[in-house]
Amino acid sequence: ATAKWYDRRDSVYIEFCVADSKDVKINFEKAKFVFSCLGGTDQVKHQNEVDLFEAIDQNESIHKRTDRSVLCCLRKAEPGKAWPRLTKEKAKLTWLSVDFNNWKDWEDDSDEELGNFDRFSE
């Protein structure tokens, strides 16, 4: 599935752009995560496996399904550490792009981001 991602102080967000997803399965592991679902009107099977740039807290990571996409919030094991990319390898993945609408350089920012995770959980 095609996806967009962006980095925040405590978490990394990935949005899988799959309309009408069904059977969403997400497996959060310490340094990798697996996403799969059926999507679209013809219910095509999508599967993505990502070896992550850094470790995440798999118990704190969550996802939310909407009609247009599946948004995953990966809680960083080391908050405050910027991720220059999502993946461990420097390879360019054809299905993955940066979400420039949500991207911001937060390293020199205040703590205004803390509310994002709370809003996401609702």
Q: How confident is the model at residue 121 (pLDDT cuts 50, 70, 90)?
A: low
CA dihedral 67, 70, 75, 81 (to 10 degrees): -110
Please give the pLDDT value at position 50.
93
CATH code matching the domain that covers 3-81, chosen among 1.10.443.10, 2.40.110.10, 2.60.40.790, 3.40.1550.10: 2.60.40.790
Q: What is the pTM of this model?
A: 0.84
Q: How confident is the model at residue 91 (pLDDT cuts 50, 70, 90)?
A: confident
Q: What is the mean pLDDT of the chain?
A: 89
